Structure 1
Amino acid sequence: MKSFTTILKTTLLASVLALSTTNVQADDFNRTASTITTSDNVQLYYKDWGPKDGEVVTFSHGWPLSSDSWESQMQFLADKGYRVIAHDRRGHGRSSQPWQGNDMDHYADDLKAVLDALKLDKVTLVGFSTGGGEVARYIGRHGTKRVNKVALVSAVTPLMVKTNTNPNGIEKSQFDGIRKASNDNRSQLYLDIASGPFYSFNRKGAKVSQGLIQSFWRQGMMGGAKNTYDSIAAFSATDFRPDLAKIDVPTLVIHGDDDQVVPIEISGAVSAKLIKDAKFIVYKGAPHGLADTHKNKLNQDLLNFLQAK
């Protein structure tokens, strides 16, 4: 009778031989049903909703949020037959929290990793706030070969901080203040942003939603302290002007004219001029967080843009 050790060795050898003769692609090992592992070993959480044969739309979220911030748009478009995909940026949400690489180049390459792992083509890239910068930098680094259309919503493009070549930008001291507040009491910072300028709840007569405030806070606190701190420099000091110049596909720019976080006059209005033939829609009275406060209008505008020939 064969010993248990002999049987075990035989079984293991058979398993190895079976694997070696199976046609398995190498990139199958870096993806699960909800995670993708990048080349620098960062695990990205992602959602993949809607029919798998639908036209693909990806969503890149803002700081310090997660893919949850897109749920209204994703559910709406998935119900319309689109395949909608969103990932949590590295260091945010349910993705892992690397100490290094919290910058736009890595964010853009992570978006490419999602497209690669899911084998996506003819994609419409939608980016909100920091996510708009991520989309622009993706095109700057990787081109538009796989891109069908682009939508920038309340995006940080082309450059937020004031510099010699960007004299209308925001003083660096204001971003330094956000960094200090992040280190002093990150939890309170997120509550203050959500209950104030993000949704324009600080405006007279505003209808304040505690649910939106709590959702913003929850998403922010899921991210890593170091990652969200580093991301402040990424969204404020990255110059996206060269990236915008490379966008050569139909582009929709949406911005609220009461955006207190990313003022329209230094962002959406400028981006729309820098991108060839961009369509620019201004939401009257809308705040930065218009994906929630004006979600029905945004949903319909995105659908119209996707359906346009």
Structure 2
Amino acid sequence: MEYYIRTEADVKIFVHDINPGGKTTILFIHGWPLSHRAYEYQFNKLPAMGFRCIGMDTRGFGKSGKPHTGYSYNRIADDIRGVVHALDLKNFVLAGHSMGGAAAIRYISRYNGYGVSKLALFGAAAPSLTMRPGFPYGHPKEDITQIIESSLKDRLQMLRDTAPMFFSKPITQPQSDWFFLMGFEASGIATAACAMTFRDEALFNDLDKIRVPTLILHGIHDQVCLFPLAEVMHQSIRNSVLIPFENSGHGLFYEEQDKFNSELARFIGQV
């Protein structure tokens, strides 16, 4: 099923809903600059295991509305809340990759974990993607600024240049095209504005507010959200488990599909 949900901010959010009769619901939040289609290889397998899989395109990306403003973590969390309300989701698993993982964390913090029974984070951009005083594990802020400037000057070339960072090994042309085409769907303003968000915002105070069991899956070769971020999250989130992916970079759900699907299903507890 595919449909649109109009949020309180009057933005249409596109939703892809597979196996609505599944016993357990997983709401997937994609990363920058992708869309729900990044989870193709989860949507191919997990519904057959009994899961209801919902993928939403965050504002500015994929098939969702593309407003000129509203790309903070708070606003994205508000959009997630709008989807949860519209679909009347209860006891669901909230799952997020990269910036989507950060948005999932903010949702938990901002809405006191409303409706969420478990949290799953994949290469999450938390607690900070950039280096800060006392936090040396991210990227220099200047590197993210360069991505923002490239997005505003030549976004298509930026997507081509960024694609190899997503994977742990040299990529094929089809892999590059897969990444490029999802990024191409996004709004240019959203692409740059979200990069400003993950450059400037941090979630240190959010981690302690997570009260649900949390799974952290992270590629040890991740060049985007470096592996030490996963270790910090694991140390900061009570009742969390960290599973390193030895053969993956940032796109672990693509590079190690079988392991990824198996670990996620095991965490949720249906297999």
Do both share a fold (TM > 0.5)?
Answer: yes
Q: Structure 1 stretch 156-165 or stretch 275-284: which is displaced more?
A: 156-165
Give the fraction of aligned pairs with identical amino acids, expressed as a percent: 32
Q: How far apart, CA to CA, are the structure 2 residues paired with 1:261 and 1:70?
A: 18
Rate the CA distance shift 1:33–1:178 in 2: closer, same or farther, 3 A. Answer: closer
Matched, 1:273 2:235: yes
Cα distance in 2 for partners of 1:49, 1:39 equals 24
Equivalents in 2 of 1:60, 1:295: separation in Å?
17
Which residue matches 2:27? 58
Give the Å deviation of 1:50.
Answer: 1.0
Amino acid at match of 1:177: Q
Cα displacement (A) at 1:74: 2.2
Q: State how far apart, in whole Å, the 1-side matches of 2:31 and 2:73 are.
A: 12
**CA separation of 1:297/1:165 partners in 2, compared to 1, >3 Å: closer, same or farther?**
same
Residue in 2 that maps onto 1:142: 111
**Cα distance change, pair 100–145 in 1 and its aligned pair in 2 (3 A):** closer
> 1:33: how far off?
4.9
TM-score by length of 1: 0.84
The letter of the residue matching 1:102 is: Y
Q: Give the C-alpha shift of residue 169 in structure 1.
A: 3.0
Q: Hey, what's the Cα distance between the residues in 1 that align with 2:112 and 2:119?
A: 12
Residue 262 (structure 2) aligns with: 300
2:213 pairs with 1:250: yes
Corresponding residue SS for 2:248: coil
**2:99 corresponds to which letter in structure 1?**
T
Rounded to whole Å, the distance in 2 between the matches of 1:285 and 1:237 is 30
Count of paired positions: 271
Once superposed, which parts of structure 1, at least 4 consecutive aligned residues long, lie more than 6 Å away?
A: none
Query: What 5-or-longer segments of structure 2 have no aligned partner?
Result: none
CA contact (8 A) 2:247 2:255 kept: no
Aligned to 1:193: 162
Partners of 1:125 and 1:134 in 2: CA distance: 10
Query: Of the candidates 145, 148, 158, which is equivalent to residue 176 of structure 1?
Result: 145
1:262-293 per-position Cα deviation (integer Å, ceiling 9, x unaligned): 1111x111101100021010111311111111
Conserved in 2, the CA contact under 8 Å of 1:51 and 1:78? no
Answer with 98-107 or 50-59: which moved more: 50-59
TM-score (norm 2): 0.96
Q: Within 2, Cα distance between the matches of 1:76 and 1:51?
A: 15
Q: CA deviation at 1:222?
A: 0.5
For 1:154, the equivalent position in structure 2 comes to: 123
State the 1:307 CA deviation.
0.8
Q: SS of the counterpart of 1:99?
A: coil
Taking the aligned partners of 1:193 and 1:53, their CA distance within structure 2 comes to 36
Tell me how large the CA RMSD over aligned residues is. Answer: 1.6
2:137 and 2:226 in contact (8 A); partners too: no
- Determine the C-alpha separation between the residues in 1 that align with 2:196 and 2:243: 27
1:34 aligns to what SS in structure 2? strand
Q: For residues 109-124 of structure 1, what are the structure 2 equivalents within 5 Å?
A: 109-124=78-93
On the 8 A contact 1:44/1:88 being kept in 2, the answer is yes
Flag structure 1 segments of 5+ consecutive residues without an equivalent.
1-31
Q: Which amino acid aligns with 2:234?
A: A
* TM-aligned CA deviation for residue 232 of structure 1: 0.2
- Change in 2 beyond 3 A, CA 1:33/1:197: closer
